[in-house]
Structure 1
């Protein structure tokens, strides 16, 4: 089968290299080998020395899973995000922590998120006395999302904690992915109820918290950071292809069994025929993309998430484990369990 996910011909989605600040040292402290982790993820060592340099977001997300594998810490992204200081986010972080209050800080994070990380969503909303800071990847070429979601929500929460103080916590934290067997570390990290299998990754907090002053408010530094961020915001955007958008919609809908052609077309505000025609123009089809997404995710889940075959089948939208097993044998000439054992001991 043709693997379409890496052949869009577009510039890969990017994140600024400041996200690697402290990564190599943290991997080593956790008992892993940073050089091997970065090599397997396709990243160079020492990227933190060029904090504004863009790096491939897909590779950075992969580094979280490779680090979890190397260190034996299945919650590596959560752990790294929990200790990541907002200053490590570079200009983007300073645009938030030097703001006069939390409302302005969150607004700046939403406004300039595309400077920090493109083809992703950071959305701020308010309703019924609560506000939500929502984060989502939009690039369907990035299948490995659990570590990234927990890392990024942790980084955002650290900005909120600057204003809330050590004695306060969000009302709740939500994640799109299912929970692992052990998810007590999430409650410890965020100090609140953590729910999984939700429509989005988000932090919920009381709207009254928005008036909290930022303890590191600095009007001059704030204006400098925002001015530079505004200049960067005007630079070229790297749009997603329809293939990438379809893959993303499929990834998000597979566990609910709602990744059919009609559901995805509605999600992308296209007619069924228009979606099929435009995908044909990009050299692929909806059926090929669904098959490719399922294979890519199956490999990822079996290699990195240590899930049972039945859990993988459910996450991929198969009604029966036997149907998934037959598909996997077609892809790999091995059963899922045999392939997972081989992947664990390359």
Structure 2
């Protein structure tokens, strides 16, 4: 995704900040954008990120900016994608819809995984060269919990939260999420109690969903068909490898298609799932090995290998050398 990619901006944002006492024109000016941006349904990727950063700067405290917008956004101003989640059957259905329809509003995407007693939702940026501001990551994750609270009518709490960056005091966010918030890592992740996903939504509206779902599903399919399946699979793999969900079945489910359809689409783009998996592992291995803070075992895990020996064998095939020697030559370190 380039900085001039056109993406849809939620119109309800401007109404929401106005109700919070933050004039939209001040956000536009703070972002260095013309006032007409307030009425533009589509903005560039760089404008999108600038607007969110300007909002955070005007509030002055990132945690406060996250909580105020996540809790202060009235239901009547929800866009159709969020309305479909708010009126879902239960919390699991709502989260599934949020993940699927989030693809209509890049530059961020969501990956959901259920394992044991946990449900993990990780936010990833479509472009590693243009990650979003801390306030956007925080609001995205906070609203997923807020959605569950509003839908179920219960004071749900998270199990844990990880934010890659959070300037300022973390305590207000810990009070909001009801758990510890870790910062300074390389992920933006919300961990929920899996049992909460079975809770029914008091806001369930089958009639409204019958109207919204076909339209949104068609939009999602059209959006997906306009993108390279190769790039979407690579993005999925980069987010999924550490969690062990890097199989073609999981990728197909995430992209809303059958295994056979995914294989066919990749064949049409002259590649295969196996080739992309190897390619992503090679790219990530080089990236992680360039970080001296990661040991070889951690690198092996991060690219989806259960043991270090398997990683060593694969890396020799890729580079003709061991990971430790490859790192030494490039970083000038002793093995």
- Change in Cα spacing, 1:233 to 1:45, as seen in structure 2 (3 Å) is same
Match of 1:132 in 2: 120
The corresponding residue for 1:62 is: 50
Q: Does the 8 Å contact 1:21/1:88 carry over to 2? A: no
Aligned-partner Cα distance in 2 for 1:23–1:238? 31
What is aligned with 1:120? 108
Counterpart position of 2:192? 205
1:218 has 2:208 as partner: no
Q: Which residue of 2 aligns with 1:253?
A: none
1:313 aligned residue: none
**Structure 2 residue aligned with 1:326:** none
2:191 partner SS: strand
Matched, 1:161 2:149: yes
**Could you tell me whether the CA contact under 8 Å between 1:102 and 1:210 is conserved in 2?**
yes
User: What is the CA–CA distance in structure 1 between the aligned matches of 2:126 and 2:147, rounded to whole Å?
Assistant: 23
Q: Is the 8 A contact 2:52 2:133 kept in 1?
A: no
Distance 1:181-1:189 versus aligned 2 partners, 3 A rule = same
Kindly indicate whether the alpha-carbon contact (under 8 Å) linking 1:78 and 1:147 is maintained by their aligned counterparts in 2: no
Shift of 1:122: 0.8
In structure 1, the residue matched to 2:10 is 17
Going from structure 1 to structure 2, the CA distance change for 1:191 and 1:165 (only over 3 Å counts) comes to farther
Q: Give the structure, 1 or 2, with the largest relative contact order (CA under 8 Å, sep 6 or more).
A: 1
Residues 1:185 and 2:172 aligned together: yes
Q: Relative to 1, partners in 2 of residues 1:132 and 1:88: Cα closer, same or farther, differing over 3 Å?
A: farther
Structure 1 unpaired stretches of 5+: 250-264, 276-346
Structure 1 residue 55 displacement after superposition:
2.8
Cα separation, 2, equivalents of 1:57 and 1:87: 26
Contact 1:173/1:194 (<8 A) preserved: yes
What's the offset of the Cα at 1:97?
A: 1.3
Matched, 1:37 2:24: no
Matches of 2:62 and 2:187 in 1, distance apart?
A: 21
CA-based RMSD: 3.6
Structure 1 residues 44 and 140, CA, compared in 2 at 3 Å: closer, same or farther?
A: farther
Structure 2 CA distance for partners of 1:137 and 1:89, relative to 1, 3 Å: farther
Q: Does 1:145 align with 2:133?
A: yes
Aligned equivalents of 1:145, 1:225: Cα separation in 2: 30
2:108 & 2:278 partners in 1: Cα distance? 20
Contact 2:161 2:179 in 1 (8 A): yes
Residue pair 1:11, 1:238 contacting (<8 A) in 2 also: no
Q: Does 1:88 align with 2:84?
A: no
Distance in 1, matches of 2:193 and 2:118, equals 5
**1:226 shift after superposition:** 0.9
Output the TM-score relative to the length of structure 2: 0.61
- Please give the per-residue CA displacement for 1:315-340, whole angstroms capped at 9, x wherever unaligned: xxxxxxxxxxxxxxxxxxxxxxxxxx
Q: Hey, what's the Cα distance between the residues in 2 that align with 1:180 and 1:218? A: 39
- The TM-score with structure 1 as length reference comes to 0.59
Shift of 1:61: 2.4
Cα distance between partner residues in 2 of 1:57 and 1:26? 25
Retained in 1: the 8 A contact 2:49–2:133? Answer: yes
- Report the CA distance shift for 1:23/1:94 in structure 2 as closer, same or farther (over 3 A): closer
Q: Structure 1, residues 167-196: CA drift from partner, whole Å, max 9, x if none?
A: 33122222122x434111111222222121
**Matched residues in 1 for 2:48 and 2:107: separation?**
14
Cα offset, 1:130, TM superposition: 0.9
Q: 1:152 to 1:106 in 2, by over 3 A?
A: same
Whether 1:97 aligns to 2:86 is: yes
> Could you say what secondary structure the match of 2:27 adopts?
helix
Give 1:287-298 correspondences, 5 Å limit: none
